[in-house]
C-alpha cells in the first residue's frame, strides 16, 4: 500500500507573498476601472492613455483652445504610486514642456495637487478624473489667489503684469508645439508630421462635413465657461 505524501503547510512567507499579490491585483483592477471612468468622462480637449508596459504610468495631452495659453498642446505624464488607492497616496502629474503657471513647480514641471487636494482620500471622491479636470482649469482660470503658490513669480506677474505673463504663456505655447512630436518610451500617444498622403484624407473628411450644422454647445463653449473660475487656497 503506497503511503500518502505528507502535504506541506504553507510558510508564513508564502502566505504574505500570496496576500501581497492579491492586494496588487486588486489595486491594478481598481486602476483599470478608474481609467475607464476617466475615458468615459474626461473633459474636452484632454486625452490620456496608459503606458504600454506599466499600468501605473499614464501619458496625456491637453489642447488649449482659449485664453493666454491658446493653441498650446501640452503633453504630460501621470505616475500612480504602488499604494495608489490608499488615503494619502497622491498621483504625480508632470508636464513635458514648460508651463509658466502659479500652480506648476518651475523646478520640475509638476502640478501641485496638494494645494487643492490637501488630504488625498479616494473614499471622499478624490480620483484621476478630478485631477485631470483640475489640470485643465489652470489653463483657463482668470484669477489666482494662492497663499503659498508653487511658482510665486508667476502669481505676482499674473496679478501685477498681465502683458508680461501673457508673453511668458505664449512662449510656453511655442515650446509645447516645437516638442509635439516627442514621445517618452512606452507612450502610445504619438504625433507624426503631416504628409502629402494625409491631405486627400483630410479633404474627404472636410468635404463630408460641408453643410452639416454644428451641434449646440459643447467643445469650446465648455472651455469658455471654465475660464471664469478663480483659484484660491
Q: What is the CATH number of domain 26-188?
A: 3.10.110.10
User: DSSP string spanning 85-104?
Assistant: TBTT---EEEESS----TTB
φ, ψ of residue 12 in degrees (nearest 5): -60, -35
Give the pLDDT band of residue 230 (cuts 50, 70, 90): low
5-64 per-position pLDDT tens digit? 555 665 655 445 566 777 778 888 999 999 999 999 989 999 999 998 999 999 999 999
Quote the cell numbers at residue 33. 476601472
The counts of H helices and E strands in the chain are 6, 6
pLDDT over threshold 80, residue 223: no
Q: Evaluate if pTM is beyond 0.85.
A: no
CA dihedral sign of residues 105, 110, 113, 114: negative
Instruction: Collect all residues with Cβ–Cβ distance below 8 Å to 66 and sequence separation of at least 6.
Output: 140, 220, 223, 224, 227
The mean pLDDT of the chain is 83
Q: Which helix (H) or strand (E) holds 57?
A: strand 57-63
Helix axes 12-41, 128-137, angle to 10 degrees: 40
Tell me what percent of the residues of the chain surpass a pLDDT of 70.
76
Buried b (16+ CB within 10 A) or exposed e, 13-22: eeeeeeeeee
pLDDT tens per residue, range 85-116: 899 999 999 999 999 999 999 999 999 999 88
Residues 6+ apart with CB under 8 A from 217: none
Closest CA to 48 of 122, 143, 135: 135
Amino acid at each position: 500500500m503506497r503511503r500518502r505524501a505528507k502535504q506541506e503547510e504553507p510558510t508564513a512567507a508564502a502566505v504574505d507573498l500570496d496576500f501581497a499579490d492579491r492586494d496588487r491585483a486588486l489595486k491594478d483592477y481598481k486602476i483599470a476601472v478608474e481609467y475607464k471612468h476617466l475615458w468615459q468622462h474626461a473633459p474636452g480637449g484632454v486625452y490620456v492613455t496608459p503606458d504600454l508596459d506599466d499600468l501605473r504610468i499614464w501619458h496625456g495631452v491637453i489642447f488649449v483652445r482659449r485664453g493666454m495659453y491658446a493653441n498650446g498642446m501640452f503633453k504630460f505624464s501621470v505616475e500612480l504610486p504602488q499604494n495608489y488607492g490608499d488615503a494619502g497616496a497622491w498621483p504625480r502629474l508632470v508636464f513635458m514642456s514648460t508651463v509658466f503657471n502659479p500652480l506648476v513647480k518651475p523646478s520640475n514641471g509638476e502640478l501641485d495637487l496638494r494645494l487643492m487636494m490637501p488630504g488625498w482620500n479616494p473614499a471622499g471622491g478624490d480620483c484621476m478624473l478630478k485631477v485631470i479636470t483640475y489640470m485643465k482649469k489652470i489653463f483657463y482660470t482668470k484669477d489666482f489667489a494662492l497663499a503659498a503658490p508653487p511658482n510665486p513669480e508667476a502669481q505676482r506677474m499674473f496679478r501685477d503684469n498681465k502683458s508680461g505673463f501673457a508673453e511668458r504663456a505664449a512662449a510656453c505655447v511655442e515650446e509645447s508645439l516645437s516638442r509635439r512630436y516627442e514621445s517618452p518610451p512606452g507612450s502610445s500617444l504619438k504625433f507624426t508630421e503631416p504628409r502629402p498622403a494625409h491631405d486627400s484624407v483630410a479633404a474627404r473628411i472636410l468635404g463630408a462635413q460641408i453643410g452639416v450644422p454644428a451641434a449646440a454647445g459643447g467643445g469650446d463653449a465648455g472651455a469658455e465657461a471654465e475660464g471664469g473660475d478663480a483659484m484660491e487656497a
